[in-house]
Structure 1
Amino acid sequence: MLLYGGSAAQAQTSRTSWVVTQIYDYNHPFAATDSTDLATKMATMAGDAFSFYRGTAHIFYQDMRTLPASKYTTTQTGLTWIGGDAHIGNFGAWQDSSGNNVFSVDDFDEGYLGQYVWDLRRLATSMVLVGRANNIADSDITTAINTMVAAYVKEMNTFMGSSDELSFQLKNGNTSGVVQDTIGDSKGDSRSSLLNKYTQVTNGARSFQNIANTLVAVNSTTYNNIANSMSSYISSIASSKQYSSSYYKVKDIHQKLGSGVGSLGKLRYYVLIEGPSTSTSDDVILEIKQETSSAVSEASSNGATLLSADDGNDAARVAMTNKAQTLNADVLVGYATINGMNFYFHEKSPFEEDFDYTQLTSAGKLNTAASYLGQALASAHAISDQDYNSAIVQYSIDKQVTNAVTSTSGLESEISTFAFSYAAQVNLDWQSFVGAYQSGTSLY
């Protein structure tokens, strides 16, 4: 896949310069506030092609502006509320607000209105990168991509004309393989384990531990700014879902370092709050993340509809995406502006388990997981249409997508062909990045 005209050599020379510039321009605005995490990000991205891919969603959407559109889209499907960064590492298990342990999408930073196929393309490309890293043959990766796409289309067809999406969840009883194991791990987690990992109790008072390169104290100005934002955060939660004010009492604040890949460089903090009682055993950790514009906005102008609903506050956009794309969403999801920056709030859940894609070590394991990935993505798209807020998405997206996919096998072929071609481009871009990184080029 040549993304520039001319000869292959000329194209790659131009692309190399462009990639390095894109990485610098995207990351430089965060250099003054979080250079430590940016250094970690660059080292992580240099490690392998998939890590590079995770850290460069903005490049992916620059490319979506110029690469050929799918044959299976319409104007209406371009108003799908997509996750925007639907790679295989952005799924996981968690316990919803009704106590169900479920498997679903679990990252919402890039949430925006755009073409549903962009999520399919990004997920399928990640399956190529991960599958190859796990020594799975390309023919078997192709089969898994086709399985994922077919599961997505089938689920959207099932949802069409019904309200099944409003009750569909992937749980222990309707999954198997690594996905089921991830849900099982979530069920086995406990609040005490999370609190013991990050906090300590001294003289009857719980506070954060200082953990080198992971959890560090903040200065008094930052502490006070965050503490003073709590009332604004609470007001961003629907009144019917707010707890008593004592629940949100701040007990300690630390900065979290080294989490994720794409979000490294954006400020992230953990806030320890009182929780339902004065006992230290039920304290709650809030995770708050700095949010900026969605990478999807590079390719789509449709998000203006979404942004008009939250006054252009990107943390509000992320909070809305979380609530739109998950059933029984975390009741602590909200947002606030701190020192002029937008922050997304949610619980650092004791029952959250990342999907360990390194366990997909055989064609069978990848193919089994692929079906659930397709279903999870379909669920996120279907419940965030007019079912969530008809002022944002005016359509039944499951109906629009089903009508647009005139051939499931045709869409499978299109997505798998794209995935392998784009994975080849990602590898070239990664090599360009590694060259710049090793030569000491300024990347942020």
Structure 2
Amino acid sequence: MDPKLTERVKLTQNKLRKRTISAILQEFDQKMMKLERSKREEKYAKMSETPFSFFRGSAYLFYFDVSREWFPYHTPGNRPTWIQGDLHFENFGAFRNERGTLVYDVNDFDEGYLGSYLYDLLRMSVSAILVARSKGLSHNSQIQTVESYLQAYSKQMRRFVKAKDDPGTYSVDIEQAEGLIKKLLKKLQKRKEQHFLEKVTALVQEHRQFATNEEIVSPTEEERHALLEAWPEYLSTVAASGEEQLRHFQVKDVAVKHGSGTASIGLDRFYVLIEAGEGEQGEDDIVLEAKEVRVPIPAYYMPYDENFWSMFEHQGKRVTMTQKAMHHEADPYLGWFSIGERQFYVRERSPYKKRLKLEAIETTGDLLAITATMGRLTAKLHARADADVAQGILAYHSEVEIVKAMGDDEEAFCTFIAQWAMAYADSVEQDYGLFVEWLVGRKKPSVT
């Protein structure tokens, strides 16, 4: 083909794709999220760091693409799974559950919704490949990385169906963990109960309050008043009543939290210090996190479910119930409230919360062990969030429907998704380049 014609074809392809990226960014971030320009610039700066950062911050582009593709392993439309909705490598982490046990699990449920289980697997598979590429791993090692995840998912899901494991009690603690995850949990064992409390608060005339810095700032009087006015609504969602319980949830101080995540930029987030006990110098105080949440991204691409929306019209309730459905132990502080038209959910800010740093991953073996654990945990999420759970809304067992959809040929299932994920990771890297070009173009002064 004529080199000039070849170049024109490439330019046209890139131009059309860049228009798609631009249109989706503007539709979601500007029109729907109503992010101020400064917030959009902050978000896009984070997204421009690496292809993985771009992937993390553009879930709407991912769903735009995959919801238009045909896949052979979807569950039937009338048998959806309660999915996490934004499953990627950095949404797993270590924390202490409500029984006091250190575990490794998923720690973000903001995008929880009903849809095919496959969307969680596809998004997670692509993220695993992007992480593998960031570590400079070979093509074969990248394939191994995602197949390790998928095989572990498939095998664990089949164990749930055969009742060899119970999704209601399945967990990855220090005993079950291996490799870097085990090392992470052991390190957290040495952390003091007051670690996070001492990190974000200070004693002022024997009264504990938040210590302000670049990320934690004092609220305006309007913000403080709005949160305190909404607090009784939160207390009703955690069934807090009576003098002792109300004293436990007494608000001692409030702060505004900045600088978290990529997709969350533009959403308000508060830290709330509550009394919790009567220890000296507030050493048993607890920090709660109240985070603004909106309609989940998958909802714009998945079939509308009237039953789901009638139960979870409040987005804070949706996130709260998603976490309760997917975790083996429910945070007793989970609840929700509204400030005007904005909706929030509340959870405890665990003093033991810690993510596995990508820099700690040094070998292919490290990564394979990690993705295998993530695969088993993903199976647990999907298998738990059905009729087995008191809060569930599905009248069937998700694990049964998923195993039917995967079929008997596990190797074919894993190979298909792994090969697709490799191809889509290539597209993400190309989109990342187009996104950076688009970002630069937006900053250039217009010629008059």
Asked whether the two chains share a fold, i.e. TM above 0.5, the reply is yes
Question: Paired residue for 1:50?
Answer: 52
Give yes or no for the alignment of 1:14 onto 2:24: no
Q: 2:179 aligns with which of 162, 177, 194?
A: 177
Other-structure match for 1:3? none
1:249 aligns with 2:237: no
Measure how far apart 1:343 and its partner are.
0.5
The residue number in structure 1 matching 2:149 is 148
In 2: Cα distance, 1:38 partner to 1:189 partner = 36
Q: Distance in 2 between matches of 1:242 and 1:267?
A: 30
Q: How many residues align?
A: 434
Q: Deviations over 1:150-175 (max 9, x none)?
A: 11111111111536111111111111
Task: Look up the SS of the partner of 2:389 in the other structure.
Answer: coil
Cα contact 1:306–1:317 (8 A) shared by 2: no
Q: Could you tell me how far 1:344 is from its partner in structure 2?
A: 1.1
In structure 2, the CA distance between the partners of 1:202 and 1:350, relative to structure 1 (3 Å rule), is: same
Distance 1:172 1:295, change over 3 A: same
In structure 2, the CA distance between the partners of 1:298 and 1:11, relative to structure 1 (3 Å rule), is farther
Q: Deviations over 1:363-420 (max 9, x none)?
A: 1111111110100100111111111258611111111111221121111111111111
1:395 matches 2:386 = no
- How far off its partner does 1:302 sit? 4.8
Structure 1 gaps of 5+ residues are 1-5
Counterpart-to-counterpart distance in 1, 2:146 and 2:33: 37
Sort the Cα spacing of 1:308 and 1:270 in 2 relative to 1 into closer, same or farther, 3 A.
same
Structure 2 unaligned runs (5+)? 1-7
Q: Which residue of 1 aligns with 2:5?
A: none
Asked if the contact 2:249–2:275 (Cα under 8 Å) also holds between the matched residues in 1, the reply is yes
Q: Distance in 2 between matches of 1:228 and 1:259?
A: 25
CA contact (8 A) 1:179 1:369 kept: yes
> Relative contact order (C-alpha < 8 Å, sep 6+): which is higher?
1
Partner of 1:377: 378
Indicate how the Cα distance of structure 1 residues 108 and 166 shifts in structure 2: closer, same or farther if over 3 A, else same: same
1:108 aligns with: 109
Q: What amino acid does structure 2 have at the position aligned with 1:287?
A: E
Q: How does 1:109-258 map to 2 (within 5 A)?
A: 109-162=110-163, 164-212=166-214, 214-238=215-239, 244-258=245-259
Aligned equivalents of 1:247 and 1:346: distance in 2? 15
Opposite residue 123 of structure 1, the aligned amino acid is M
Whose radius of gyration is greater, 1 or 2?
2
Higher mean alpha-carbon deviation, 118-127 vs 386-395, is at 386-395
> Which TM-score applies when normalising by structure 2?
0.91
Counterpart for residue 317 of structure 2: 316
Q: Does 1:326 align with 2:332?
A: no
* Matching residue's letter, 2:49: G
Identify if the C-alpha distance between structure 1 residues 8 and 303 changes in structure 2 by more than 3 Å, giving closer, same or farther. Answer: farther
Return the offset for 1:349: 0.7
Q: Which moved more, 1:75-84 or 1:124-133?
A: 75-84
RMSD: 2.3
Contact residue 64 and residue 299 of structure 1 kept, 8 A: no
Aligned-residue sequence identity (percent) comes to: 27
Shift of the 78–302 alpha-carbon distance from structure 1 to 2, 3 Å rule, reads: farther
Deviations 1:266-313 (A, max 9, x none): 111111111122541011111111111111112212554322212x11
Q: Work out the CA distance in 2 between the residues paired with 1:82 and 1:103.
A: 18
Q: Distance in 2 between matches of 1:120 and 1:336?
A: 31
